[in-house]
Amino acid sequence: KTAMDFVEAKQEKIDCKPFWKTPWWAHSPEEQERLKRAIKEAASGKLIRFETKYSRSNGHKMSFDFSVKPVRDSKGNIVLLIAEGRDITALKSAVEDLRNRELELQVQSRRLEEANVALKVLLKQMENKKREDEESILSNVRQLVSPYLERLKRSNLDKDQKILVDMIENNLGHITSPMVRRLSSSVLNLTPMEIRISHLVKEGLTNKEIAEILGTSLNTVTTHRYKIRTKLGLKNKGINLRSYLMSLEE
């Protein structure tokens, strides 16, 4: 009776009719043919099971796990077929919701990965820009300020003027020293003097010009250049030191 109430069927519409012509299957000729084949196979001794759909009069669509099971007597003869339909509408809906949620999570995950990649690219660009700006500041200080300060220090200055020049030089050192520390990470294990000479070499200054700027001897600069080449793995190699130092920025 529950099954009849489900399809809003009366007894007279069911009695003496093949099962596939009852109201449960009248909604689909294809499903009727499918049931006929299932009954035939079940009558031969097989358990038949398949999923089918049904639309109620109110338009509500439902899913069923349907089976036709053969029943045998004590002699093994098939005497009965039991048809059973289990409502799996809620289960199908839950599975569909789960699948949609998984797809949504996959989309969100891809978007997050894309945003993460974009952020990494942006951070790298910002890092490169910061490095370029620091290099530019250091280069300008060394080319446009330091040489003139050195010349000024060697000129006939009185005591107060020398103090002011020293203060300017010290303040420039304080301003640029953090940049030097960061930028020197690309130069392997160089001493502060070797780092200064490396930057001056990179700017295209000769050994003589470097010696004058740093207030040291030409021989000292030559020795430091030799140590720089050794630490950078350029010893006994025909690689131009300035070109190599410039390539570290690329």
Give yes or no: residues 139 and 205 share one domain: yes
- DSSP letters spanning 49-73: EEEEEEE-TTS-EEEEEEEEEEEE-
Task: Tell me: pLDDT of 12 over 80.
Answer: no
Query: Cα separation of 145 and 97, whole Å?
Result: 69
Residue 184 within any structural domain of the chain: yes
Other CB atoms within 10 A of residue 245 CB: 19
Query: Cα separation of 209 and 221, whole Å?
Result: 10
Give the residue with greater pLDDT, 68 vs 162: 68
> Which pLDDT does position 27 carry in this prediction?
79
Residue 137 within any structural domain of the chain: yes
Q: Looking at the chain, how many residues does it have?
A: 250
Answer whether 141's CB lies under 8 Å from 176's CB. Answer: yes
Residue 62 within any structural domain of the chain: yes
* Residue 219 vs residues 207, 223, 230, 236: alpha-carbon distances, Å: 9, 6, 17, 19
Q: At what angle do helices 192-202 and 159-183 cross, to 10 degrees?
A: 90
**Three-class DSSP category at 137:** helix
Any idea which residue has 């098939």 for tokens?
A: 78
Mean predicted lDDT score pLDDT of the chain = 83
Residue 168: give the domain boundaries: 130-247
User: What digits encode the pLDDT tens for the residues 190-237?
Assistant: 777 888 888 888 888 899 988 888 888 999 999 999 998 888 888 888
The neighbouring-strand residues paired with 50 are 66
Residue 145 within any structural domain of the chain: yes
One-letter amino acid for residue 101 of the chain: R
User: What digits encode the pLDDT tens for the residues 78-125?
Assistant: 999 998 888 888 999 999 999 999 999 999 999 999 999 999 999 999
Give yes or no: residues 192 and 83 share one domain: no
Number of domains in the chain: 2
Q: What is the pTM of this model?
A: 0.41
